[in-house]
Amino acid sequence: MTNSESLVNHFKAHHHRATALAHPNIAFIKYWGNSHEALRLPANPSLSMNLAGLQTVTTVTFSDDFAADDLIINEQRLIGPRLERVTAVLDLIRMQAGLHMPARVESVNSFPAGAGIASSASAFAALALAGAAAAGLDLDEADLSRLARRGSGSASRSVPAGFCQWLPGSDESSVATSIAPPEHWDLRDVIVIVSQVHKAVGSSGGHRLASTSSLQSARLAGAEARLAACRKALLARDLAAMGPVVEEDAIMMHAVMMTSHPPLYYLEPATMAIIHAVMQWRDEGIPVYFTIDAGPNVHLMCEAAHGEDLRTRAGQLPGVQQIIVSGPGGPARLI
């Protein structure tokens, strides 16, 4: 055996590596609040679309040569709470695989950090898949969705393809499944970015505050009905039926945020200007609806035929910094 061959064999025996890709997703019915924080069991069901073209690619390497877990995102080494959150998911993988090696996690996002596109969904979906594969675990889609959920709730929905529904329930039953493949409907998400500023309170902190709003119980009481209406309209490709439900659901979430203790204000003047523009565009006959996550940026929902027109129109509004147009994306996958 040559020297380099023995090095290669050493590497194979002591390193376990896999790379996975996952898309972020935009929720049409929002997840806001947990019934069990550590397990990330959601207080209500949610429904989303994976976003094609935007992606996180993550390589996980387990090796005895490492002293501790290492996290590198966009070529920057991260420590503290963000590393701890990744280690918690790696621990679940190591426990199941009976593996005791530290891991190096290298992750690259194709979309701008802090652009209000939740990178935790694609990040933890890619981490779950790459980590499980590197550890030699043979997990099915539901197992992977549950594993991703433990890292970030919305990541459960970035594991299956296309349009995904995530139901609450117990640890075992709280899993996201695809209700329609990406080819089902050529919807567009025109993402209108008005601020790149990193938010003071992120989703995890927000979920903890949800129950302090007296409006949360009203939001939860109607969530199942909104999900059913949204799912029915989505399966029928009926944007006129789906849009108003999606808008109401997003605004109810923001009402909960603004009435929490302490309150969370994510909406900015530019956000409101876009909401008013959307209503005006609809009056002019363009079928377009909005949704907003835990930030000031606005996602415009429309069919493919109106995507470019809306990109142009949104680009003319005050305070708009960047626009990204996306459509239905595939599942998390090994590459």
Binding site for ligand DP6 (CB under 6 A): 27, 30-31, 40, 46, 118, 120, 152-154, 203-204, 207, 293-294
**What is the nearest approach in angstroms of ligand DP6 to the Cβ of residue 37?**
9
Task: Tell me the C-alpha distance between 170 and 175, whole Å.
Answer: 9
- The phi, psi pair for 330, rounded to 5°, reads -80, -170
**What angle, rounded to 10 degrees, do the helices at 141-151 and 119-134 form?**
120
Q: By C-beta, is 69 or 293 nearer to ligand DP6? A: 293
Nearer Cβ to ligand DP6 (101/193): 193
Nearer to ligand DP6, 31 or 289 (CB): 31
Q: What's the CA gap between 295 and 270, in Å, rounded?
A: 12
Q: How far is the CB of 27 from ligand DP6 (least distance, A)?
A: 3
Least Cβ distance, residue 249 to ligand DP6 (angstroms): 10
Q: Which two tokens stand for residue 160?
A: 């299956």
In this complex, which beta carbon is closest to ligand DP6, that of residue 190 or of residue 264? 264
CB atoms within 10 A of CB 244: 14
Output the smallest distance, CB 66 to ligand DP6, in A.
26
Single-letter amino acid, residue 248:
E
Question: Which of 40/219 has CB closer to ligand DP6?
Answer: 40
Q: Give residues with Cβ within 8 angstroms of 3, minimum separation 6.
A: none
Please, which residues have CB within 8 angstroms of residue 181's CB and are 6 or more apart in sequence? 161, 162, 163
Q: Which is nearer to ligand DP6, 155 or 310 (CB)?
A: 155
Residue 253 C-beta: closest distance to ligand DP6, Å:
6
C-alpha angle with apex 225: 224 to 229, nearest 5 degrees?
Answer: 120
How many CB atoms sit inside 10 A of residue 20's CB?
A: 24
The pair of three-digit structure tokens given for residue 139, joined into one six-digit string: 């997990």
Angle at 41 between CA 69 and CA 150, to 5 degrees: 15
Residue 224 to residue 135: CA distance in whole angstroms:
37
Closer to ligand DP6 by Cβ: residue 101 or 300: 300
> Least distance to ligand DP6 from the beta carbon of 282, Å?
24
- What's the min distance (Å) between Cβ of 312 and ligand DP6? 27
Give the span between the Cα atoms of 252 and 233, in whole angstroms.
Answer: 19
Nearest distance from residue 293's CB to ligand DP6, in Å?
4
Nearest CB to ligand DP6, comparing residues 46 and 213 = 46
Tokens, residue 131: 């980590």
Instruction: Provide the residue count of the chain.
Output: 335
